[in-house]
Structures are given as C-alpha cells and as structure tokens.
C-alpha cells in the first residue's frame, strides 16, 4: 500500500505541471512587405509582441520606418495572442504586381506548435 501511495504522489507531481498555452505574446515576429512577388521582401521589421497595442503604428505618407514605408495612408498592425490584424484608414491606390501584400515570419507560439 505504501508503494502505491508513493507512486501516486510521484505521478501526480510529474503530471500536474502547467500546460503550455499557444500564444504569440512575448515573441518577436517579423512583419514584411512582399512585393512584387510573394517571395520578395521589400521592407521588413521585427515586432516584439507585447502591450501597448498596436505594435506597428504607421502615420501614412510612407513615413515611420520599417514596413510603414509602404503605406501612403495611416495603418496599424496588432499582434496579440493568436491574432494578427492589419487595418488601414481609407482606401488608396495600390501598385499592380503579381503579388503585393504582407507576410509574417518567425511565428513562435511558445508551446512548440507550428503552422503548416
């Protein structure tokens, strides 16, 4: 009986750890402008995922450094938990190309999970 109780305590102690939760919080993500193809990085910047949000706040007029150099209108990128949100105020002309968009790289969810 004593061995059973001891085994139960050891099993409980080893398996009662805190489970990892998927989140981008606390990691560094690379935000990139992909243009004119989906594999060509035109502008990029590393973003530490933590408050205050949004992490990337572009004033418009291609000002602000990093990926902000691609936006003629004010734009924001917010990365929080498992969400990446891009917003841009207004609408404007976009340069025609086979690809013109955003890419996010180095997504570390903190629990070993990956995107396929």
| DSSP reduced 3-state for 1 | coil
User: pLDDT per residue over 26-81, tens digit each?
Assistant: 999 999 999 999 999 999 999 999 988 889 999 999 999 999 999 999 999 999 99
Q: What is the DSSP letter of 10?
A: H
Q: Which of 26, 102, 29, 28 is nearest to 67 (CA)?
A: 102
The token pair at 88 is 């841009």
Q: Per-residue pLDDT for 110 more than 70?
A: yes
Residue 116: per-residue pLDDT:
62
Residue 75: per-residue pLDDT:
96
pLDDT cut 90: percent of the chain above it: 64
Where do we find the tokens 């995922």? 49
């Amino acid at each position: 009986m004593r061995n059973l109780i001891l085994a139960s305590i050891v099993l409980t102690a080893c398996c009662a750890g805190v489970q990892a939760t998927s989140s981008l919080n606390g990691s560094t993500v690379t935000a990139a402008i992909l243009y004119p193809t989906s594999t060509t990085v035109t502008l990029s910047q590393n973003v530490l995922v933590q408050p205050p949000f949004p992490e990337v706040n572009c004033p418009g007029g291609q000002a602000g450094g990093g990926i902000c150099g691609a936006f003629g209108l004010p734009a924001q990128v917010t990365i929080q938990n498992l969400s990446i949100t891009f917003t841009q105020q207004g609408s404007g002309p976009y340069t025609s190309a086979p690809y013109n968009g955003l890419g996010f790289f180095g997504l570390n969810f903190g629990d070993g999970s990956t995107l396929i």
